[in-house]
């Protein structure tokens, strides 16, 4: 098993979400780009919901309150996709369609 050891905690400075990608600019100047398919709640969100994010703490994580989605920057660096089960995601999706 490989362990990720970081010299400093990665912190997000700015977030952009397109129709296909989540782009996270880090405080140290790097940018991470991951496919939205890694995060089904973001993939199925409206543009308005995707844009309604906030950084937690000094930028250690990103929260989309409307979507109940939280993504840690360290997990992004490690290549971790959403850990939500298909069953949980389907319940969330069904609850959203009942409000539409």
| 4 located within any domain | no
Q: What is the pLDDT of residue 45?
A: 95
| 65 located within any domain | yes
Strand partners, 14: 25
CATH code assigned at 89 = 3.30.2020.40
Q: How many domains are contained in the chain?
A: 1
- Measuring CA to CA, how many Å separate 69 from each of 6, 7, 17, 18, 44? 24, 27, 14, 16, 12
pTM of the model: 0.87
| 94 located within any domain | yes
**Do 27 and 12 meet the contact criterion of CB atoms below 8 Å apart?**
yes
pLDDT tens, residue by residue, 22-35: 999 999 999 999 99
pLDDT tens, residue by residue, 41-97: 999 999 999 999 999 999 999 999 999 999 999 999 999 999 999 999 999 999 988
Q: Terminus-to-terminus CA distance in the chain, angstroms?
A: 45
């Amino acid at each position: 098993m490989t362990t990720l050891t970081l010299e400093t905690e990665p912190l997000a400075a700015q977030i952009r979400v397109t129709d296909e990608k989540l782009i996270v600019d880090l405080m140290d100047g790097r940018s991470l780009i991951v496919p939205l398919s890694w995060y089904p709640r973001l993939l199925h969100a409206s543009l308005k919901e995707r844009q309604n994010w906030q950084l937690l703490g000094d930028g250690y994580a990103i929260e989309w309150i409307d979507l109940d989605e939280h993504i840690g920057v360290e997990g992004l660096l490690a290549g971790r996709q959403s850990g939500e089960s298909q069953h949980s995601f389907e319940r969330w999706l069904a609850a959203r369609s009942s409000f539409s």
